[in-house]
A and B are shown apart, each in its own frame.
Chain A
Amino acid sequence: MAGLPSQPSSEGKLSAGVFDGIAIRLLAPSWLMIGFFLLLPVAMMLVYSFLTKEFRGGVIWEPSLAAYDQFIFDRGLFGDEPPVIEWTYITIFGRSIWQAALATVLCLIIGFPTAYYIATRPANTRGVWLFLITIPYWVNLLIRTVSMKFLIRDTGPLNQFLISTGMIDSPIHIVNTNFAVQLGLFYSYLPFMVLPIYAAVERYNFALSEAAFDLYASRWTTLRKILIPVVKPGIIAGCILVFIPSLGAFLAPDLLGGAKTFMIGSLIEEQFKGSAGNWPFGAAASMILLSMVLLVLMFYARQQTRAGNGAR
């Protein structure tokens, strides 16, 4: 590395030399942004989650574990029964995780063939397909979610169409069900699955598939043993990009699900914007969510390292 500047003939090394010594300063703006707008707020949340709640919102600067205690232990409605495990919040988290996981699987089932199809088109038409995928996303998520509600409601076009074809006699109730929430999540995040997988499949060397066929591998074996392992980083990236925002989503549950039950996002919102005004508990719930997401990401990182080692 020390000899780099003395070898100006190599282009790559020359460009490295240009930024020698000032690389830190070039990074400074992004570090400032991350530090000020990401790490600082998260640190504040962490601190708040260990403080005492002030009545009707706010914190008192006295350390307390009350927020985590409330999350874990149930002392009855009046707070004087012997503590047992609190299932309320575990149920809410479990429901959100289940919804997010299901949305991820659905996105994968629909997204993978879509991405594969686009990546195998002639190079000059791929752009058009990608463009078509992104068009709906030029419109704000809120508007798209409300529009979806109009489409699937009892008197909406979907039900009217099904009734007019004679397939059903009375409208199917879709709005305000978990199915509607699923539909909303799936629709909202589908491109986040398609795009990374597309990028991976596009780089895939199809000679590998041909070689597999030459060696008498069936289509299924080729898919399972060759294609999927090679594009796996794209699949995992897509899953993470769908799973994490679905976990904190509140638009689809509120608008399409009828807000009858808390999801993680609405539970946290209620602690800050609702009557509860319990900032430490909201912060604690956020920290628990954040830790879970971090665990998922660490799992991903380990997978990546393992895959990297395997390739060598």
Chain B
Amino acid sequence: MKNPFRQKSFQLGAAFLAAALATGTANSAEKLSIYHWFEYIPQELLNKFTEETGIEVTMDTFDSNEAMLASLKAGSLGTYDVAVPSDYMVKILLESDMLQSFESSELKNFDNIDGPWKDPSFDPGRKHSVPYQWGTTSFAVNRDVFSGDIHTTDMLFDPPAELQGKINVLDSQGELILMAQLHLGIEQCSTNRDDVKKLDALLQASKQHWVSFNSDGAKDVLVSGDAAVGQIFNGFATKAREEGANIEYAFPKEGYVAWMDNVVLLKDAPNRASAIAFMDFMLNPENAAAVSNYAQYKAGVTGAEAFFEDTIKNSPELNAPEGAPDGTFVQACNQEAQALYDAVWTRLKK
């Protein structure tokens, strides 16, 4: 009687030990290190990824594309597997030789990428990146303060009297300068002297109407009423509206900023297979929609719409009205042009 019992318990013990060893090896072998924007992925989704694949995830966050680039350049390339830069930054990373390529056959969900995003100018053929989320950056206006037409960049650069001194702009060179260029109708990255002088003069003249340069707090200044106009990402505007601000998001007739964030495969990624698994995971419509429902942006993945909550389907921030122009992507300028715009930016904030 005793013997078989003992034997069984021994077997059980051995099985536990083997299982423990197996998970132990799995843990030490399969890891994924993500470099991501702050507040941009729900923890439940990361848990789901770990459950499905057994890959342990660690994540660090950044608050601007440029901060991410600086960190990678300062030596953290080789410690992260994937990062989530925006369109123009994908191009910069690509040109700086900081990405590695993959074959579309490595991702079984590759064909889920939505038509227009399959061959973007910043990563032709999608050899280094897959879509994460996309949206627009325009501005929102407090309807308690101003009731006229808001669909013009005049709101930022030539505001009516009741909005003067109540405008928050993003503390981000690329997005603010592009809005100013759209307002003036001049080309991005232009090195034409008259264009640059006009741009400089416009920014210098408009600054008196602005109360602050705030990116992290772009939503809070609208909710608290510190600002009546705020340059803002569309998903952030949705959140501000849901938190009680009586604001309307504008689609200016002169144009506005469009962007797409992408999961990129970094050069020298320590866990390339895990990175591929994560990119594949993010191309699953249900998972892409989970991010959309959390962050209030749209996913560039076919079939994600089916999993969108109603707030996204009917969101006035996500669905441009009839007749509104398309958004414009920020371009990565060459060195000569960038030096000019850096100088303009420093003069603006001197």
Our verdict on whether A and B bind, yes or no, reads yes
A155 adjacent to chain B (CB < 8 Å)? yes
- Interface residues in A66-93 by Cβ distance below 8 A to B read 77-79, 88, 91-92
> Are the CB atoms of A277 and B66 closer together than 8 Å?
yes
Closest to B62 in A: A273
> Are the CB atoms of A274 and B214 closer together than 8 Å?
no
In whole Å, how far is A61's beta carbon from the nearest beta carbon of chain B? 15
Please, how many angstroms separate the alpha-carbon atoms of A278 and B338 in the complex?
11
Q: Return the CB mask of A249-274 against B: 1 if under 8 Å, else 0.
A: 00000110011111000000010111
A176 adjacent to chain B (CB < 8 Å)? yes
What are 22 contact pairs spanning A and B, CB under 8 A? A56-B69, A56-B96, A57-B66, A57-B69, A77-B340, A77-B344, A79-B339, A88-B350, A91-B350, A154-B226, A155-B224, A176-B212, A258-B213, A258-B214, A260-B210, A260-B212, A262-B346, A262-B349, A274-B173, A275-B341, A275-B345, A277-B70
- Interface residues in B164-220 by Cβ distance below 8 A to A read 171-174, 193, 196-197, 200, 207, 210-214, 217
> Are the CB atoms of B66 and A259 closer together than 8 Å?
no
Q: In the complex, which residues of chain A have a beta carbon less than 8 angstroms from the beta carbon of B213?
A: 258-260
> Are the CB atoms of B350 and A262 closer together than 8 Å?
yes
In whole Å, how far is A145's beta carbon from the nearest beta carbon of chain B? 12
Given A55-B335, A55-B338, A56-B92, residue A272 in contact with residue B70 (CB < 8 A):
yes
Please, how many angstroms separate the alpha-carbon atoms of A10 and B238 in the complex?
76
Q: In the complex, which residues of chain B have a beta carbon less than 8 angstroms from the beta carbon of A274?
A: 64, 66, 173
A276 adjacent to chain B (CB < 8 Å)? yes
- Interface residues in B305-342 by Cβ distance below 8 A to A read 335, 338-342
Q: In the complex, which residues of chain A have a beta carbon less than 8 angstroms from the beta carbon of B67?
A: 273
> Are the CB atoms of A275 and B338 closer together than 8 Å?
yes
> Are the CB atoms of A273 and B342 closer together than 8 Å?
no
Please, how many angstroms separate the alpha-carbon atoms of A270 and B200 in the complex?
19
Q: In the complex, which residues of chain A have a beta carbon less than 8 angstroms from the beta carbon of B212?
A: 176, 258-260
A58 adjacent to chain B (CB < 8 Å)? yes
Q: Which of A55, A155, A258, A261 has the most CB of B within 10 A?
A: A258
Q: In the complex, which residues of chain B have a beta carbon less than 8 angstroms from the beta carbon of A55?
A: 335, 338
Please, how many angstroms separate the alpha-carbon atoms of A262 and B213 in the complex?
11
Number of interface residues of B (CB under 8 A): 39
Closest to A156 in B: B224
> Are the CB atoms of B214 and A153 closer together than 8 Å?
no
Across chains A and B, which 5 residue pairs bring their CB atoms closest together, nearest first? A258-B212, A275-B173, A259-B213, A273-B67, A276-B342
A-B CB pair tally, cutoff 8 Å: 85
Please name 15 further chain A to chain B contacts, defined as beta carbons within 8 Å, in addition to the given A55-B338, A56-B96, A77-B343, sorted by A numbering: A56-B69, A56-B338, A79-B339, A255-B217, A258-B211, A258-B212, A258-B213, A259-B171, A260-B212, A274-B64, A274-B173, A275-B173, A275-B342, A275-B345, A277-B70
B108 adjacent to chain A (CB < 8 Å)? no
Given A153-B224, A260-B210, A260-B213, residue A88 in contact with residue B69 (CB < 8 A):
no
A175 adjacent to chain B (CB < 8 Å)? yes
Please, how many angstroms separate the alpha-carbon atoms of A273 and B64 in the complex?
8
Q: In the complex, which residues of chain B have a beta carbon less than 8 angstroms from the beta carbon of A260?
A: 207, 210-213, 349
Please, how many angstroms separate the alpha-carbon atoms of A112 and B340 in the complex?
49
Q: Return the CB mask of A265-309 against B: 1 if under 8 Å, else 0.
A: 000001011111110000000000000000000000000000000
> Are the CB atoms of A78 and B224 closer together than 8 Å?
no
Q: In the complex, which residues of chain A have a beta carbon less than 8 angstroms from the beta carbon of B171?
A: 259
B8 adjacent to chain A (CB < 8 Å)? no
In whole Å, how far is B200's beta carbon from the nearest beta carbon of chain A? 7
Please, how many angstroms separate the alpha-carbon atoms of A55 and B96 in the complex?
10
Given A57-B70, A153-B224, A260-B207, residue A88 in contact with residue B345 (CB < 8 A):
no
Please, how many angstroms separate the alpha-carbon atoms of A91 and B346 in the complex?
12
> Are the CB atoms of B193 and A277 closer together than 8 Å?
no
Q: In the complex, which residues of chain A have a beta carbon less than 8 angstroms from the beta carbon of B73?
A: 56-58
In whole Å, how far is B346's beta carbon from the nearest beta carbon of chain A? 6
Closest to B197 in A: A77
Q: In the complex, which residues of chain B have a beta carbon less than 8 angstroms from the beta carbon of A56?
A: 69, 73, 92, 96, 338
In whole Å, how far is B25's beta carbon from the nearest beta carbon of chain A? 35
In whole Å, how far is A252's beta carbon from the nearest beta carbon of chain B? 13
In whole Å, how far is A281's beta carbon from the nearest beta carbon of chain B? 10
> Are the CB atoms of A154 and B349 closer together than 8 Å?
no
> Are the CB atoms of A261 and B349 closer together than 8 Å?
yes
Q: In the complex, which residues of chain B have a beta carbon less than 8 angstroms from the beta carbon of A272?
A: 70
- Interface residues in A15-58 by Cβ distance below 8 A to B read 55-58
> Are the CB atoms of B174 and A275 closer together than 8 Å?
yes
Please, how many angstroms separate the alpha-carbon atoms of A176 and B212 in the complex?
7
Q: In the complex, which residues of chain B have a beta carbon less than 8 angstroms from the beta carbon of A261?
A: 349-350
Closest to B173 in A: A275
